Structure 1
Amino acid sequence: MNTKRNTIFKVLALAFLLIIIVVFVKFFTSNTNFDKDEVYVQVPTGSTYTDVVKIISPYIKNMNDFEVIAKLRSYPNNVKSGRFLFKKGMSAFQLVGAIRRNIPVKLAFNNQERLENLCERVSSQIEPDTTKLLATFRDTLFLKENDFTKDNVFAMFLPNTYEVYWNISAEKFRDKMLGEYKRFWTEERIAKADALNLTPVQVITLASIVHKETVKKSERPTVAGVYLNRLNIGMALQADPTVIYALKLRDKNFDQIIKRVLYNDLFINSPFNTYQNIGLPPGPIAMPDIDAIDAVLNPTNHDYLYFCASVEKFGYHEFASTITQHNVNAKKYADWLNAQGTKR
């Protein structure tokens, strides 16, 4: 009798072991269908379980196995939007776990020329599209509450790398950028801006001009000093980059390359034209890097009022305190441009 019971027990144990093996092979071994080491899948806000199945099916070898585990773990009733990481060789069990873990995006932007360009750059990295972002950044109530205008709200965005979730809303992303902006403007930086009789937005607006004038970090404080000297005596900034910006704005073409500002260009009717308008333009003409902002906050103390590109030290500028010396420098540069055949 005992022998018969032992036999039955062994048969049941073997059957149980076989079931465990089958279950393990079916649900706990590789169920991925891609060659890369890892892929990211994006589940849009408001997606249903059916939507998720359509999105992830190209990456999964056996969807039936995935769905069995998904239902056992109550995933169909708890779908999450976001960005999810699938690694090569994941099992059905691991894949269901992965589709629950929202992976942040390291969102980066710099050197954008205007708010529209920034929105295009950002929308390529998170869920909200360009139109939604632009409308959110230019929301009338938001601008009023934070002392921005449609022309200068671009100053709020500081070039950097930020960690956000892919499915972050446009409003939450905007608020995060506002928080980063406020953190940047420490008491020390605000004190330096006050000493220059400038607001933070005005500092960034001037920094955008300095940024466009020179890529040489070593001379940015000197360039900033020139413009601050002009502001202090009520002299027009006469910054060529602002004219270039005005021309691009007029033509609605920010892809065009303008290497030379012509005499007639100086008369373009635009609030951004600092040859025709005294003071700063209504907002930044580009996204300045932090170095350019700090150059404005820490300018070189000198008596220069003029500068133009150097033909002897390419990439740098020649500075002058008098219009006579400046005209000499400017003629050298104009002659060099003519010799190169640069018309525009």
Structure 2
Amino acid sequence: MKKTALIIVLLVFAAAGFFGLRFYNTYYGNNVAKDGYVLIPHKASFQQVLDSVAPYVKDKEAFETVAKDKGLDRYFKPGRYHFEEGAGNTNLVNMIKAGNQTANSFRIGDFGDMYQMIGKVTKKTELDSLHFVNDLNEIAVERGYKNAEDLKKYFFIDTYNFYWTVSPREFFKKFDEQYHDFWTSERQNKEQQSGLTRDQIYALASIVYKESGGKKDEMKTIAGLYLNRYRKGMKLQSDPTVIYAINKQTNFKEPIKRVLYKHLTTPSPYNTYANAGIPPGPICVVDKSSVDAVLDAESNNYIFMCADPARFGYHKFTASAEEHAINAKAYQDWLNSKNIK
């Protein structure tokens, strides 16, 4: 009798251990087959969630069991979720229910226009580029602008983090706040002292950025040079503005490696060889340093600059037309020696 009771007790413990282990594995054991990101869009069905999860889990049925037990079939949040090896179904389900998605890294570069930028950005968002363009166009009109292209000055070159589910308005809000934080009372005072409008400052900053190649150590010198030309009533004659004018006409599909004489007459309000004064807007998204370079421009007498073939990416500056002609010829000879056309 005692022997029978002992066997029963052992069987009970064995069953408890078996089902306990099974319960643990189902709810808490590692069920991630491979590290990756699961995308769950707005208005997805529960079956779509299961289909999205399937490639990343070892046991699909176990995940579904826990998901239903925790109500994921009735409620979940859209997003980009990181399925990391070692995670159990409970953690995975709770992550999706709580909306604990992982942000994406976005690099805002020196895009020539907003539509270029939007095309890159939306590759990492749920919404397509047309949706972004339409919403940003609406924001622009609400602010008294013509379209999204007029919002370029609100953006700065840098790396930002956004969720995959970010809406266009949420996206713009971050840059709008950054823009207003940047324009401190100190910078506004410098703006007033410059005698330039803010649009002119951004337009010059974009020229400075392009001419400097983003190198901060020449920015203030270049800004001083272009302010000298502007205040003397000279045409700015900046090659990047010609390149921009051509790129706008070709929708940025024909890269220009070398500005030729035939390009200098390209009809465009941005072409500073064809038009006097500062362009009507920036030719690219700028960084903060280039705006500060215009606000704190170097006081110099330079009115000419030319790329220096001996220091790639840097320039030779002068106030002498004769010296500039020598510098320009040296650079043209270097381009020809490298067969750059």
Q: Which residue of 2 aligns with 1:57?
A: 54
Alpha-carbon distance in structure 2 between the residues aligned to 1:237 and 1:129: 38
Alpha-carbon distance in structure 2 between the residues aligned to 1:328 and 1:55: 64
1:48-91 residue CA offsets vs partner (Å, 9 max, x unmatched): 21110111111122222111111111111112100111111322
Alpha-carbon distance in structure 2 between the residues aligned to 1:13 and 1:339: 86
1:135: Cα distance to partner?
2.2
Mapped pair 1:231 → 2:230: yes
Alpha-carbon distance in structure 2 between the residues aligned to 1:51 and 1:99: 13
TM-score between the two structures when normalised by the length of structure 2: 0.89
SS of corresponding position for 1:299: coil
Alpha-carbon distance in structure 2 between the residues aligned to 1:264 and 1:128: 41
* Divergent runs of 4+, >6 A: 1-10
1:34-56 residue CA offsets vs partner (Å, 9 max, x unmatched): 2xxx2111111221211101111
Moved more, 19-28 or 170-179: 19-28
Instruction: List aligned pairs for 1:68-217, cutoff 5 A.
Output: 68-100=65-97, 101-139=100-138, 142-150=139-147, 151-215=149-213, 216-217=215-216
1:97: Cα distance to partner?
2.2
Q: Which residue of 2 aligns with 1:246?
A: 245
Mapped pair 1:298 → 2:258: no
1:166-200 residue CA offsets vs partner (Å, 9 max, x unmatched): 10112211222212222222222222222212333
1:332: Cα distance to partner?
3.2
Q: Structure 1 89/234 Cα, relative in aligned 2: closer, same or farther at 3 Å?
A: same
Alpha-carbon distance in structure 2 between the residues aligned to 1:133 and 1:94: 33
TM-score between the two structures when normalised by the length of structure 1: 0.88
Mapped pair 1:281 → 2:316: no
Alpha-carbon distance in structure 1 between the residues aligned to 2:25 and 2:332: 76
1:136: Cα distance to partner?
2.1
1:5: Cα distance to partner?
8.1
Moved more, 330-339 or 220-229: 330-339
1:131-169 residue CA offsets vs partner (Å, 9 max, x unmatched): 222222222xx2244354434321211122223221011
Alpha-carbon distance in structure 2 between the residues aligned to 1:327 and 1:29: 74
One-letter identity of the residue aligned with 1:61: K
SS of corresponding position for 1:84: strand
Number of aligned residues? 337
RMSD: 2.5
Mapped pair 1:20 → 2:20: yes
Alpha-carbon distance in structure 1 between the residues aligned to 2:277 and 2:146: 17
One-letter identity of the residue aligned with 1:281: P
1:106: Cα distance to partner?
3.0
One-letter identity of the residue aligned with 2:280: P
1:212-260 residue CA offsets vs partner (Å, 9 max, x unmatched): 11234222111111111122233221111101111122233x2433232
Alpha-carbon distance in structure 2 between the residues aligned to 1:336 and 1:3: 100
Unaligned runs of 5+ in 2: none
